[in-house]
Structure 1
């Protein structure tokens, strides 16, 4: 019985692992999505596609939009520093406003 439980637990642990190649593929897919979403706006702003200023524009627009949606807070103080909103109580990772 112990062997069966150990085998099942090991299987679940291995399913949760990702290789560096898989992480790189996920990051590349995310960057491709970001460039497809914000690239046209940066081109309309006058930046040549796939130039350094265009890439900076894409990253800035992505960061601005991500900040407006709310980010992930890794603060151990919860929402304490959010200008009076929230109780400030809580430990762990939470979604910011």
Structure 2
């Protein structure tokens, strides 16, 4: 049992460590996914594909989508929204 646990922990540590080249490849894969997902929308908005303005549009749409997707996650864990003074209700709420 101890050997199995040690092997599992070692494998986890090795996969958690990545080289700069591996991180660059992951970032490139993420950027390719973002371009596939948001590129056509930016072309429909009137930006010329692969121009600087188009790339800016792609990044802005991606950022907006991430903010929308993850913005309420802190509320579940007692973020600022849960405190009456910071807008969570109560006598000082909005």
Q: Which has the larger radius of gyration?
A: 2
Verify: 1:15 aligned to 2:15, yes or no. yes
Unaligned runs of 5+ in 2: 90-94
Unaligned runs of 5+ in 1: 86-97
Structure 1 length normalisation: TM-score? Answer: 0.65
Alignment equivalent of 2:88, drawn from 81, 84, 87: 84
Structure with greater helix percent: 2
Displacement of 1:40 in angstroms is 0.2
Distance 1:12 1:34 in 2: 28
Structure with greater strand percent: 1
| Corresponding residue pairs, total | 81
4+ residue stretches of structure 1 with deviation over 2 A? 7-16, 71-74
Residues 21 and 64 from structure 1, CA distance in 2 versus in 1: closer, same or farther, beyond 3 angstroms?
A: same
Counterpart position of 2:29: 29
